[in-house]
Structure 1
Amino acid sequence: MPQPCVPTTDLIPPLPCTAGADHLVIPWAIGLAEPQGEAQHGLDMADALPDLPALHGLLERLTEQHWLRGDEYQLAAPHERVLASTVGWPGGDAVETGTETPPAQAPWAALWAHQDGLSASPGEAWGLMTPSHWLMGRDHLTLLHPEALALGDIESRALFDAVQPLFESEGWQMTWGAPLRWYVRHESLAGLPSASLDRVIGRNPDLWMPNHPQVRLLRRLQNEVQMLLYRHPVNDERESRRALSVNSFWLSGTGAAPSPGTGWPTWPVRVADAPHQALLLGDFPAWQAAWQALDEGPMRELSSALEVGRPVRLTLCGERHAVTLSAPDQRPGLWTTIRRALPWGRTRASAAALLREL
């Protein structure tokens, strides 16, 4: 039976996952940016990991099965590519080339709409519009984490109603899904590449607009939304209480819903999302605490499954690459068991060294 892979965020609905799956996926296990306050001490993020005995024990017994290579400028984050390939969706192993036609993308927005109880017909192209605040700095924009808006249902619906005619005048259909989840439908979204929201949070959104003919319309719509919301009563009230205004949106997850007969998959994995969300919020202590909780919970459960000979897998994802580890010998012989127990026979892997490669 599927169970939700529950995220600690309202940005997207949870994935339907297989209960008790022995494949653990950790999105954004580590970030490229140095944690605030640590760089001055010469301490990088990997060195700042807490003691993780269960993870180290797994690394002693698991071997690298597959590397998913990429870079930090790809529109899809590594964990999204891993999850897409796990169920045979497009975009899993594709590498963007910049000048050539971009690869097909996984239809995340159509799935999220389905998870929100909306009807996503086969072949219908969807996109997720996330209302957001774009902060104007001295020389560039920054898209702040949408959860910082603390946007409620009433405010969100009022802003949605204000921008809906603008999109529908262009032939796009809009549907409200949740305060931070507005959905759009249009045939052009099937082939429009879009950067994951994870890529853009805390960064300059202009750098993540792809080179595509449809982007010209998208930029115009963003500009018109900014002007439309500038003096909207909801934003006036929010500014009066020093809350962030909603002054733009980010479009992500574009793609067409699966064809008839394919349907919506159940992911044969467990997703441990807490380190991911801590990094998006820039909360380094929370990232450390999330890793500690992972080690005491899912990592121990994976170790127990390994002990009884189940074929476990662990996938660690960074901002550039992802690595999947598995056990080559599920039932080791007596001599292998004895050798592992001896101090001179153990080859303790370094979690920090592995994470740095991501």
Structure 2
Amino acid sequence: MAPTLQHLIVPYAATIAPLTGQDSQLPALPRLARLLARLEQQETDAGDEYSLSPPHERVLARALGLPTTDGAIPWAAWQAGERQQACAWFTPCHWQASMDQVTLQPPESLDLPEVESRELFEALRPWAEEDGITLHFESATRWRAVGPAFADLPWASLDRVAHRQLDAWLPNGGQLPQARALLRLQNEAQMLFYTHPLNDRRAARGLASINGFWISGTGAWDGQALPAPRVAASLRAPALRGDLPRWAEAWVQLEQDEIAPLLAAAEGGAAVRLTLCGERNAISWASGLPAKPGALSRLRGLFQRQRPLDLTQLLSQL
């Protein structure tokens, strides 16, 4: 029997923000260098920063055996164990409007307790039902929506829009007719939430309003999935905020918490796989598998010659 493969996926191993300035210099990551020196590059998941599904979602979906259609990976159905019915996540958030753009602030940055989230959930539920959508309260930051509207409906991942402009990510109702009712529901929610007493109470406490929701994780799931690899989530928040010093600090902690055990397993002869994901591409390395030739093979030679890891050079490929 083949040994169980230990697979670690690292989202936001690189960001689209440039690594410039003294405060943005990455520290040495010796365990990562040692691990990559032992592994063979296997494949690259190539894309760009405009895909609806970021690289780490594509890689995870492929590892699980889920559909990988851009913007239509059925995360809501899979995570909820909902079989055969199309689902989506509704994420309550703050749409921050300025003179020339609207930016989305995700709930984890908004101090949204469950009791307040439930108030808005109950306010939106009858409006959703009029459109044939059933809402289920999963947590303060995520409501599950069920209905045929979410079948074959691409929508940008929350990770694509958190702390970023929305105009490029909202579907075009003229080109995507099945999105029109949902775009209308989003507009109705903005008006409904704007006048909700909850936001007056939040304003009195100096908190941003919850004035909308984002749709993501759309699609139906057939109930089949492979064992999930481990996903290291600690780089996500500072990367999305564009906080490069904190992102670099998170890399040091991640190397200790996640890379070190994987390195120990590899040195002990275990089959391991490491996938580093940026906002454009993802690259996988593995042990015990034949290497595939590729444009990044020169990096493997770099590590195998025992040179210090130039993480900035590596991350530029992501």
Partner of 1:108: 75
Per the alignment, do residues 65 and 348 of structure 1 end up closer, same or farther by CA in structure 2, a change over 3 Å counting? farther
TM-score of the aligned structures, taking structure 2 as reference length: 0.88
Instruction: Compute the displacement of 1:134 (Å).
Output: 0.4
For residue 218 of structure 2, give the secondary structure of its aligned residue in structure 1.
Answer: strand
| Number of residue pairs the alignment of both structures matches | 300
Determine if the alignment matches structure 1 residue 75 to structure 2 residue 52.
yes
Would the aligned equivalents of 1:197 and 1:250 in 2 still touch at CA under 8 Å? yes
Question: Quick one: distance in 2 between partners of 1:169 and 1:286?
Answer: 44
Equivalence for 1:303 = 263
Give the match for residue 146 of structure 2: 185
SS at match of 2:177: coil
- Listed as ranges, the gaps of 5+ residues in structure 2 are 291-303
**Conserved 8 A contact 2:29-2:309:** no
Q: Is the deviation greater in 79-88 or in 283-292?
A: 283-292
Structure 2 SS opposite 1:23: strand
Distance of 2:49 and 2:222 partners within structure 1: 28
Label 1:302 to 1:215 Cα distance change in 2 as closer, same or farther (>3 A).
Answer: same
The one-letter amino acid paired with 1:22 is: Q
Structure 1 residue identity aligned to 2:17: A
Q: Say if 2:117 is the partner of 1:156.
A: yes
Q: For the residues of structure 2 that align with 1:127 and 1:297, how far apart are their CA atoms?
A: 32
* Residue number in structure 1 paired with 2:88: 127
CA RMSD of superposed structures (Å): 2.3
Out of 222, 229, 233, the residue aligned to residue 273 of structure 1 is: 233
Change (3 A) 1:356 1:191: same
Q: Which consecutive residues of structure 1, in runs of 5 or more, have no partner in the other structure?
A: 1-19, 95-102, 115-119, 331-343
Q: Is the partner of 1:206 in helix, strand or coil?
A: coil
Matched residue, 2:296? none
State the distance in 1 between where 2:77 and 2:23 align: 38
1:176 maps to 2:176: no
Find the counterpart in structure 1 of residue 27 from structure 2.
Answer: 50
Tell me if the contact between 1:145 and 1:280 (Cα under 8 Å) persists in the aligned partners.
no
Pair 1:224 & 2:191 matched: no
1:25 aligned partner? 9
Q: How has the CA–CA distance of structure 1 residues 124 and 225 changed in structure 2, closer, same or farther, with 3 Å as cutoff?
A: same
Contact 1:145 1:281 in 2 (8 A): no
Moved over 4 A (4+): none
* Aligned counterpart for 1:196 among listed residues 157, 161, 167: 157
Classify 1:240/1:327 alpha carbon distance in 2 versus 1 (closer, same or farther; 3 Å). same
Query: Residue type of the partner of 2:246?
Result: A
Displacement after TM superposition at 1:104 (Å): 7.9
Whether the aligned pair in 1 keeps the contact of 2:5 and 2:271 (CA below 8 Å) is no
- Partners of 1:229 and 1:247 within 8 A in 2: yes
Structure 1 residues 302 and 67, CA gap change in structure 2 (3 angstroms): same
How far did residue 283 of structure 1 move?
A: 3.2
State the distance in 2 between where 1:34 and 1:137 align: 25
Larger displacement relative to structure 2 (320-329 or 190-199): 320-329
Give me the whole-angstrom Cα distance separating, in 1, the residues matched to 2:74 and 2:84: 10
Counterpart pick for 1:255 among 208, 219, 222: 219
Q: Deviations over 1:46-103 (max 9, x none)?
A: xx21111101112222221100001100000100000011121110xx5xxxxxxxx5
Give 3-state SS (helix, strand or coil) of 1:208's partner: coil
Contact residue 88 and residue 219 of structure 2 kept, 8 A: yes
Contact 1:189–1:255 under 8 Å retained in 2: yes
- Cα shift readout 1:118-152 (whole Å, capped 9, x = no counterpart): xx2x2100010000000001101000132122111
Q: Secondary structure at the match of 2:43?
A: strand
CA contact (8 A) 1:125 1:256 kept: yes
Q: Distance in 1 between matches of 2:266 and 2:254?
A: 16
